[in-house]
Structure 1
Amino acid sequence: MARPRIKDPEMRHGRHCVFLMHVHLVFLTKYQRGVFTKAVINDLRVVFASVCRDFEAELVEFDGEDDHVHLLVNYPPKVAVSALVNSLKGVSSRMIRQKNYPTIQRKLRGGALWSPSYFAGACGGAPIEIGRQYIAQQKTPH
C-alpha cells in the first residue's frame, strides 16, 4: 500500500524526488569596502531572483548592508551550491558594472565587486540532533 503524500506547501517535487533544501549565502564586497546603497541592494535583489529562476531555485529572502549581502535560497538537489554561487556573483558583478554606480567605481577599482570567498550554510528542516535520533530509532530488519 502506498504511503499518503505529505501535504506540505513548502515541499517541492522533482521528477523522482521530493525536497526542501535551503542555503543561507553571505557575499562580501572586495576588501569589505562599504559601497552598497539602497538602490544597489534593490538592483541586486532583482538580479539574484532572476539567476535563481534560471537554476529552478527561489530567492526566499534577501537583504544586505553597505559591505555584504545575505541570501536565503530554496534550491533543487540537482543544483551544486558552488555553481549557483558562481553565477549569482558573476551576473550581479557584471550588472553593477554596467549600471556605473559612482561609489562603487571610486572604491572598487579593477572591476571586481565580490570577495572570492563566501559563506554557505544549509538551513531549514529539523535540527541535526532530531534527524540523528530519528535515524537511530529505525528498526533494522533481522
Structure 2
Amino acid sequence: MQKFKSNKNVVYSCKYHVIFCPKYRRPVLVNAIASRLKELLAQIAIDIKVEIIEMEIMPDHVHLLVEVDPQFGIHRVVKRFKGATSRYLRLEFPELKSRLPTLWTNSYFVSTVGGAPLEAVKMYIQNQKET
C-alpha cells in the first residue's frame, strides 16, 4: 500500500533521486567532511520539511532519495541543500576554500521514483471514459 502525505491543499507522493557533485568533481567529500555533510543535510531537511528516505555521500558526489511537497518544489530543496551546506562546510573546513572556488557545481541530476509504471498510468488515463 502506498503512503501519501498531505498539506492544506495537496495529497501527494513525490519522491526524487537527486545527485549533485562538488565543483570539478573533486573527491573532497571524505572523512569528517562527509560526516558533517550528512548531519547538515538531515538538519536542513527537518527545517524545510523534506523527508530524506536514503542518503549516501561518495567522495565526489551525493545521492539523496527524498520526498518533497510539490508546492515547495524539488528545485528549491536542492538549492537550499547546496547553498546551506556550502556555506557551513566552507566555514568549518577552510581547506575547501583553498581547493575550490565554490563547493558545488551549478547542475544536478533529478529523477522521479516510485508510483505506478508509466504505461499503467497512461492506460488508466486512456480508459477513464470506459469505466
Q: CA deviation at 1:107?
A: 2.7
TM-score scaled by length of structure 2: 0.89
Q: Number of residue pairs matched?
A: 131
2:99 aligned partner, one-letter code: K
Given the alignment of the two structures, is residue 41 of structure 1 paired with residue 34 of structure 2, yes or no?
A: yes
Given the alignment of the two structures, is residue 128 of structure 1 paired with residue 121 of structure 2, yes or no?
A: no
* Ranges in structure 1 where 5+ consecutive residues have no aligned partner: 1-6
The answer to whether the Cα contact below 8 Å between 1:48 and 1:88 also exists between their aligned partners in 2 is yes
Name the stretch that deviates more: 112-121 or 13-22: 13-22
Q: 2:106 is matched with which residue: 105, 116, 123? A: 116
| Partner Cα separation in structure 1 for residue 33 and residue 55 of structure 2 | 13
The answer to whether the Cα contact below 8 Å between 2:38 and 2:57 also exists between their aligned partners in 1 is no
* Ranges in structure 2 where 5+ consecutive residues have no aligned partner: none
2:121 aligned partner, one-letter code: G
Q: CA deviation at 1:43?
A: 1.3
The list of structure 1 runs, each at least 4 consecutive aligned residues, that deviate by more than 6 angstroms after superposition, is none
Alpha carbon RMSD of aligned pairs, Å?
1.9
Given the alignment of the two structures, is residue 107 of structure 1 paired with residue 99 of structure 2, yes or no?
A: yes
Map 1:43-122 → 2, pairs under 5 A: 43-100=36-93, 102=95, 104-108=96-100, 110=101, 112-122=102-112
SS at match of 2:39: helix
TM-score scaled by length of structure 1: 0.82
The answer to whether the Cα contact below 8 Å between 1:48 and 1:92 also exists between their aligned partners in 2 is yes
